[in-house]
Chain A
Amino acid sequence: MFKIENLEISLIKKNKIDKVLIKNISLRIPNGSIVCLVGESGSGKTLTGYSLMRIQPSQNLKITKGKIFFDNINLLELPEEKMRDLRGKEIFMIPQEPLTALNPVLTIETQLTEIFEFHTNMTKNEIKKECLRLLELVKIDNPSTRLKSYPHQLSGGQRQRVLIAMAIALKPSLIIADEPTTALDVTIQGEILELFLELRERLNLSILLITHDFGILKSISDYVYVMYGGKIVEEGTKEEIFSKPIHPYTKGLIDAVPTIDSTPKTPLKTIPGYAQISDFYCPFYERCNSAQSDCKSEFDYIFINQKHGVLCRKIMK
């Protein structure tokens, strides 16, 4: 079980907090569940994902508040060595682009072997066997020849599979997958998602899926967090979010995407304006149709039932 409590990530300039990018985020990833994080680019999805590994993509970013729990250990208090041990073993992050995530000058075998050499005491033979087994598990044809290949000799889908193989190598509790299908073709997307589902069943994995594709959300997520402007604005089970969205942003997002059942040639509902940094408490204030003056100041995050929470002033009335 992973838990983030009141996390705040800030941009640091000259040892001072310049801007708070992630504001007061709390989320839970129960064992064996697929949790989705959706939102526009720049909303802080990836930053939140990285923070679970205690990695910040830039030196100027720091976690300034909050706790991150893995079972009962607060990851933010661990010394760096212990944390390094956990990365790969308990948490693995599949970065956004499968093309750039692999080292272009090393074979797949070298890159897979590295993980075992670093984290385990297995012999060379055992490692080789394990590598083959992993590639079979993620359904790569001809695993023994593929081990000798370089990343550029593989297709996008195969590279993504190799990354997933690396991710599950040490049987971690959590995989963070950042836009795992965006760079892939439609036909491959389905296969990769199916693989995630299958691996979850087999290995009791938790998966944090960062995405902006509502088709993915609808199909494989258990629980959804909607992010906007560095805050979680709504959360809930997939059913709750899609059947009873409350936050104007969630509603807007759901309506803005043409689906396979929408009526062609009709105007899509849009969210006016574009994403910008808001100075007000509600990050969506500038684009919201039902915004009122009291949305500018602080208000509570409310759970309307056990499976559905929202950050919106409207609901309090």
Chain B
Amino acid sequence: MQKDNEIILQCFNISKTYQLKEGFFGKKITISALKNINLSIFKNEILGLVGESGSGKSTLGRIILRLIEPDSGQIIFDNQDITKLSYSQMKPFRPKMQAIFQDPLSSLNPRMRILDLLREPLQIHTKKTTKEIDEEISFTLSQVGINFNDTFKYPHEFSGGQRQRINIARALLLKPKFIIADEPVSSLDVSIQAQILNLFMELQRTYGFSMLFISHDLRIVRHISDRIAVISSGEIVETGLTKEIFDNPKHSYTQKLIYSLPEKHFLKY
């Protein structure tokens, strides 16, 4: 097992509930989205988070990013408790944790040119001159395979794969220690998926960030992750090294998930 000081992010007993009203005059129902989540992510690793829709995968991601507040629990990022930090206190942490979302188009402002979109994070978080910023953008874009001359275009002028590359570039610009990728390839075509997955693996090796890779596709998670956490109805039911989870799943839910892959499921036919 790795040492404690190599941990980049830890979650302790995170819980989150939502209040729902059944009908206008109806009773209030409490739905618990997350129950006592404990999770650690080590430096330099890709942790895959798998589960079905509604299992709380994305909620957990958002809580870690402090986009929504948990009811209880603690988030330790880079040895500091960030759970109770105010908006302005969070600011120095923001560049260190970045996010890439499922829909590459809706995460890019349609009214901004790519260049402005990419300049923004650096203008907010660093004191660099525009020239330095542009140099950095140009370098990062070359890493993700986008031509700098294309930065004068608007998001809709790019294909889905290119848009996701731009999102990745934006996340990388601030040299984050930790990236959350929430279903980053599920809206892309098969042949493009492979390109983006390769890009993730390559960049992770060069930049050495940690990543929480949220996905429902077991085959993709298996390919890219060092460790896997399986989440079901708001609870993490199993964590372990990728190989162990797939070769020897212990929890019944994990077994069910793996067995339901068509390749496994239809062996009998």
Contacts and interface: CB of A to CB of B under 8 A. Distances in A.
A189 to B, nearest CB: 7
Contacts of A190: 259-262, 265
B192 interface: yes
B257 interface: yes
Interface residues of A, number: 37
Contacts of A265: 201, 223-224, 226
Given A219-B265, A274-B159, A40 B260 contact: no
Contacts of B195: 270
Interface in B159-218: 159, 161-162, 189-195, 197-198, 201-202, 216-218
A40 B259 CA distance: 27
B147 interface: no
B261 A215 contact: yes
B264 interface: yes
A270 B199 CA distance: 11
A40 B191 contact: yes
How many residues of B sit at the interface, in one of the four size bands?
Answer: 35 or more
B265 A274 contact: no
Interface in B211-269: 216-220, 222-226, 242-243, 246, 256-257, 259-266, 269
Contacts of A214: 190
A216 B258 CA distance: 15
B93 to A, nearest CB: 29
Interface in B125-169: 159, 161-162
B265 A256 contact: no
A81 interface: no
Looking at B191, B220, B266, B269, which has the most chain A CB atoms within 10 Å of its CB? B191
Nearest to A267: B198
A218 B262 CA distance: 8
Interface in A241-280: 252-253, 255-260, 262, 264-265, 267-271, 274-275
B260 A256 contact: no
A258 B198 contact: no
Contact of B263 (A187, A215, A269): A215
A273 B46 CA distance: 27
A185 B219 contact: no
Contacts of B222: 258, 260, 264
Contacts of B107: none
Contacts of B52: 185-187
Contact of A258 (B219, B257, B259, B269): B219
Contact of B264 (A193, A216, A258, A260): A260
B262 to A, nearest CB: 4
Nearest to B220: A258
A275 B162 CA distance: 12
Q: Which 8 A-B pairs have the closest CB atoms?
A: A219-B266, A258-B223, A256-B194, A215-B262, A219-B262, A268-B194, A190-B260, A185-B52
29 contacts: A185-B216, A186-B216, A186-B260, A186-B261, A189-B260, A190-B265, A193-B262, A193-B265, A194-B266, A212-B189, A215-B263, A253-B190, A255-B194, A257-B190, A258-B194, A258-B197, A258-B219, A258-B222, A258-B224, A259-B263, A260-B222, A260-B263, A264-B223, A265-B224, A268-B194, A269-B194, A270-B191, A274-B161, A275-B191
